[in-house]
Amino acid sequence: MLGRRDDWLPGRAEPLRHSAYEFTDSQGLGDWFEARIDVHWRVHVEGREPYEFSEIRRAPFWTMKHARHGRRFYHLRRRASHGLLREVGVPCRVHPQKPDKIDIDWSRAYDEHQPAWERLDAHAKAYSKRAEGPLGKLLSPLEYGGLPKLSAEEQAQVDREVAERIEREERLPPEQQAQVDENEWIAAEGQEARRLHKEGRRANAKVTALERPAPGSLVWTISLEVEGIGPVEHRQAMNEKWAAILPPGTQTAVMIDPGDASRLTLG
């Protein structure tokens, strides 16, 4: 609920760019109840020109891609969410004198996101069955179990869109096909990083070298000296802003898989 703010203006906020993440403080303690979101909003209020601003704020865990939290932190989802979507946005109310102060109805936003997530899952299921051969046909019913059945017209539309996607990918030159593969790698590594932040062992590390990505790539190579392990070369998808705070000599934390020290992520 948004509370009694009768003079606030109804609006809608569109996340032009955002990054949702689990919060860990300087003592290594996490927030068990909420995530954090670093977001640049475009806000639409009827009768006014759209405007933009950036902020970091608390947000439900479901705003993180691949999260299995539902409407509340204690609700679990059978399938991971696709996180906060720009094309859906969030309903909000805007302070009449302070336009960068918005009150978001996260509960309603969750309800509005669910149909969009289900359509994305339907796409992923159809793509897996078409593009990944016999293994995709075998595993997709398990991975997407419980997905609501689409109408014949909706399923036909999904199948057409998936066929067009596969056709486009097959026409890509080799370097762009590699980019598609990299995007899939980044998504898989993101899931692994979330697992390590929950299950991993925290250790200190020193950045000894930082290698920029190849043109068109987001994946940096970081050389680390990890406490109790030694030299490690780690690949991490990062933007320029993140990389700028990790020059050689920087002390940072890493999360290490307790059962496999070769698996780690930046803390």
Given a cut of 70, whether residue 114 has pLDDT beyond it is yes
What does pLDDT average to over the chain? 81
pLDDT at site 25: 60
- CA-based radius of gyration for the chain: 21
The predicted pLDDT at position 1 comes to 41
Nearest 5 degrees, angle CA 75-CA 67-CA 226?
125
User: pLDDT for 171-216, tens place per residue?
Assistant: 655 655 555 566 667 777 777 888 888 888 899 999 999 998 877 6
Separation of CA 219 from chain center: 16
The more confident residue out of 199 and 24 is 199
In order, the DSSP letters of 169-230 are HHHS-HHHHHHHHHHHHHHHHHHHHHHHHHHPEEEEEEEEEEEPPPTT--EEEEEEEETTTE
The type of residue at 203 is A
Q: What are the two backbone dihedrals, phi and then psi, of residue 138, each rounded to the nearest 5 degrees?
A: -75, -45
| Residues ≥6 apart with Cβ < 8 Å to 152 | none
Q: Alpha-carbon distance 250 to 248, whole Å? A: 6
One-letter amino acid for residue 32 of the chain: W
CB contact at 8 A, 71 and 110: yes
CA atoms within 13 A on the CB side of 180: 12
- Confidence (pLDDT) at 218: 78
Q: Provide CB contacts within 8 A for 148, sequence distance 6+.
A: 118
Best-predicted range by mean pLDDT among 28-42, 64-78, 217-231?
217-231
Q: What is the pTM of this model?
A: 0.54
Angle (CA) 230-28-79 rounded to 5° is 95
The number of C-alpha atoms within 13 Å of 125 and in the hemisphere containing its C-beta is 20
The continuous run of DSSP H or E covering 133 comes out as helix 133-143
Topology of the domain comprising 200-266: OB fold (Dihydrolipoamide Acetyltransferase, E2P) (2.40.50)
**pLDDT score of 235 more than 90:** no
* Arithmetic mean of pLDDT, 138-145: 56
Q: Are 123 and 162 a contacting pair, CB within 8 Å?
A: yes
Which residues of the chain form CATH 2.40.50?
200-266
d(CA 57, CA 116): 23
CB 82 within 8 Å of CB 116: yes
| DSSP character at residue 86 | T
Q: Is the pLDDT assigned to residue 16 strictly greater than 80?
A: yes
First to last CA, the chain: 34
